[in-house]
Homo-oligomer: A and B are copies of this chain.
């Protein structure tokens, strides 16, 4: 089956970056399938290039070696990934199943390419649905008293599963700051508001109280700072005076799952580059 290499990089902007990267690729016969770039006014350059693997005479290891000189010259932060190696997405859920359900559907239908080595939950409710898909389900109860131990267990399960990214699919628990710091840019959350409005608990109730005419959802990287990490994707849906908070919860589910799945797709396809607290999405 055809697979590609994805090179994504960021460096200070300078004449010749594209020429060097594309020159290197062409020199080795690399066939570019897709490429996009961004020159930031602040002086940074971002690039993502997808190359047909079969067109290159070597694999990612040797690519890494050979490309390193260019990378150093331009002070690049960069990586190369093989689309044949699927990202391992560990999903954390609580009792709500809409985001989990949607991710399982997209995984089943290969809507985009990723693996789910396991699902972790602080409740038993969604076990049957997950196991029907042939995916292991780990129950880790989280209480006021066992928070540290529970999250240690979650981290252990994540590592044992070889998790690349942890997705909080409406997990309803705050991730301890030290875990956030050990997995920078590797924990993705879906928040059920259009951030920065309505951080914290019960955002639909906050939205109702303020009388907004659109409600939204935000997919973002988790940092130690609650609901303040870099935003990956957002969307909104129209509401009106006839919608009470419980109707907003129902309508919002569709936005939440769409926003989360789009954000996760950007992540596993290596389309997201970080620039401070902002994201560059090369699609």
A264 to chain B, nearest CB (A): 14
**The residue from B19, B101, B109, B279 contacting A22, defined by CB atoms under 8 A apart:** B19
Residues on B with C-beta less than 8 A from A109 are 97-98, 253
Question: Can you spell out 17 A-B residue pairs with CB atoms less than 8 angstroms apart?
Answer: A15-B26, A19-B22, A19-B23, A19-B25, A19-B26, A23-B23, A34-B39, A35-B37, A40-B241, A97-B108, A98-B105, A101-B105, A195-B210, A211-B231, A211-B278, A212-B231, A240-B281
Chief secondary structure at chain A's binding surface: mixed
Residues on B with C-beta less than 8 A from A244 are 41
Interface status of A36 (Cβ within 8 A of chain B): yes
Over the window 181-214 of chain A, the binary record of Cβ atoms lying under 8 Å from chain B Cβ atoms (1 yes, 0 no) is: 0000000000000111110000000000011111
Question: Is the beta-carbon distance between A214 and B235 smaller than 8 angstroms?
Answer: yes
Question: Is the beta-carbon distance between B214 and A279 smaller than 8 angstroms?
Answer: no
Contacts A31-B15, A33-B39 hold; do A212 and B195 have CB atoms under 8 A apart? yes
Over the window 9-51 of chain A, the binary record of Cβ atoms lying under 8 Å from chain B Cβ atoms (1 yes, 0 no) is: 0000001101110110111011111111111110000000000
